[in-house]
Structure 1
């Protein structure tokens, strides 16, 4: 068989040259557009189910929430393993599928299973939600926000309501988590003496404040052939206006407001659940997680572009730092080192062949065969939906000696 291939190649030299040039062009084009990563994705298709159970102990969460979810997904199609972790007020279930399972199909299967257990969960348990679609190597960037003038409370607000939505709109981003800073909230500090004096209970205050800042509809007013939509504009960001909200009426129809029974102010949520810093300076951090089969380098460039646009609209004293952690930097450094070793190894093989065999033809054949074989290997990686990474390039470097 090999003799026939060699004989056919010798009789059709021009066809072989054209095929080699065509493979080289396609290989270079494919290599420039393939996903580049540090390691191949070693995570089986996994769907994460998260459930909040406020006020429940870990044992109760395990028995009434986690066990119910595990039982529902255990018999799902193509499920190979189910793991879980239960803590106070929170349940996490990892559902692993077979390697050849499409992740979107896996998420659909889990969603269908979860829809059947809504009645089996306790009433005070939140709806089970699916975690972001990412892998163990998905965390690709940490962004830091620092300022000398803006408070940590405002930094956290800017991070959650301005920067995070913008980053999530970038294609390939699975999740953006905000760490550190103070969470802004409107606080009503009740006075027990005033409540007792005015005859107001805490439940009455809770009922009055539940929908106090929500706009409402008042129907339609018809006048002179026109329609006027009536709206109650109650939404406000002013603590003083909230303090004027009515809790109840006295027997003589006098309003009792929040200001009469306590103090309304804007403050930081307590207790603080996390603290972040950058170079010893208090900061707010955003961790960006990418989706599967997304190029880390291309996504990093897209995020840099988004952040540069955001910087123009933020206060000038706010600094955005992207050098805390960048997976793309490690990828570029690792790939460059292996590529350099690959080129040096190929040249060393050619030099050894030339000095030991003293044959220019053999050396020329090696010079052509080595890069052509590497480009064909890249095409095979593309056809198998694999990425260019340190392991694949390392295997190519080792295979050069066997090739010659």
Structure 2
């Protein structure tokens, strides 16, 4: 019995037997079959490797960046991305505008196909970190010399959670009282003297409120529910906190109760239904029918982004901004503000972290 064998690694071993009593032609055919089989299997292995092996990278690495912004805000970020792409040739950022980004990024990450970079909201950081949906950035920050000393602490802290840095800021923001100077003049108020205390703001608002003959509100001085983005946080302007920083919820603290009694006072004074009817006529925030831009509400708690929307939709508006008022008996709360930011994160499973 003649035997030929060829070890093929993970494929096993090829063994071909030839009986010595077989006819000469049969034995010759067997002998020819051995190298032919070897060549065929070698060709098969080579071709299979060719199919599964990734093609070599040609040109720049393409990084996928998901962002939520649209309109002029989206244009501003696209300008940043375009400037980066022009500045070098190794990395090309592909910017995609994604609605509902906080949910879609989480779903894409769970499905194993996330973007390389995602622009989320500050409050998303803790949830994503707890869900192991994003990568800690500590090593990257050390590698590129990024540290807390380069940031205002409040903004750095938004991305810092459970001993790690998970996100870095893109658009840090703070809030202030925005007020309509012309509406102040029309009510006999000094446009250069915004209210400093909560009590002064309530008194100024009362002078600005206007109703028609049927009692419908036409102009409002201030409405706690407009735009209504910080209803959870009014207590902070009165010295309250939502928890003690350790383990106890403090939503029912005297300071928080005082804040919500103040909010209720507007419904009592001006009528909850009347305020709701008046508010139902407001347009979208990003439009000229915005309640502040259309001069329906004289004072609002707003962020630094508001000036961009004023310039876009109501460039002739006579307005100013000042620190949000504090209770007259709590001067220690002067100059309080909310800080927030949009952030960049690297989802877990990103192809180019």
Q: TM-score, normalised on structure 2?
A: 0.22
Higher normalized helix content (fraction of residues): 1
TM-score by length of 1: 0.20
